[in-house]
A and B are shown apart, each in its own frame.
Chain A
């Protein structure tokens, strides 16, 4: 069964303290892994798509990497404005519907 697991559930960092979020997945035939950011009271906002092991994408203080079993979202020198819930997702097997399977997210709090 296709599955996405994120860890930790919550992470509290001091401003400037780098860390990583994990997204592990089990899926038949990966057709991409997606990272989203969700601010309180808002809808998820698309960040990155990764398609193959070894691929990396960067945006400001965020860098996403992908292996055959998991993805990491590295946050370098985070600022309070990086505080949000970060979600990852993979397409469900049988891609005609474009359905995504989402993890439950990591709630990141960056304190000044």
Chain B
């Protein structure tokens, strides 16, 4: 099992450009999450999904959109990138309601200039 994978690993964008980050998991997990991690601020939840076709806002959703068309994939989109979105982005998944252990991908380092 590959677990949770993320593509790309690194990306540099110019202000105003758009991009999509892809997260895939092969553990048949129902729940998936997108976090950003910034120095001194820890992991902050951007959006999450409790099942295929459902998404919800987390702590810092502004400037991001997500989609979960297939159970194994969770996409994070930036429509118009801003320097404040420079961060490391992590995807995670958990098995089902009430099982709180989350398993993380390796991360994507995004720089917006």
Task: Please tell me the size bucket of the interface on A.
Answer: 20 to 34
Q: CB of B34 within 8 A of chain A?
A: no
Stretch from A42-50, A54-62, A76-84 contacting the other chain: A42-50
Count, chain B residues at interface, CB 8 A: 26
How many residue pairs bridge A and B at CB < 8 Å? 58
Complex interface: chain A residues within 8 A of B107 (CB) = 41-43
Residue contacts A-B, CB under 8 angstroms, 15 given? A32-B100, A34-B102, A36-B104, A42-B106, A43-B4, A43-B92, A43-B106, A43-B107, A46-B101, A46-B102, A49-B101, A96-B97, A98-B50, A102-B42, A105-B42
Q: A45-B104, A98-B100, A104-B41 are in contact. List 12 more A-B contacts (CB 8 A).
A: A31-B100, A34-B100, A34-B102, A42-B107, A43-B106, A44-B43, A44-B90, A46-B101, A91-B100, A98-B50, A98-B98, A105-B42
With both beta carbons as reference points, the residue of chain B lying nearest to A46 in the complex is identified as B101
The verdict on A95 contacting B48 (CB below 8 Å), with A45-B104, A87-B43, A102-B43 known, is no
Complex interface: chain A residues within 8 A of B103 (CB) = 46
Query: With A and B bound together, what is the CA distance between A102 and B35 in angstroms?
Result: 11
With both beta carbons as reference points, the residue of chain B lying nearest to A9 in the complex is identified as B40
A residues bordering B, Cβ < 8 Å? 31-32, 34, 36, 41-46, 49, 87, 91, 95-100, 102-105
Ordered nearest first, which 8 A-B pairs have the shortest CB separation? A43-B104, A104-B42, A102-B43, A91-B100, A44-B104, A98-B94, A98-B31, A102-B42
With both beta carbons as reference points, the residue of chain B lying nearest to A4 in the complex is identified as B42
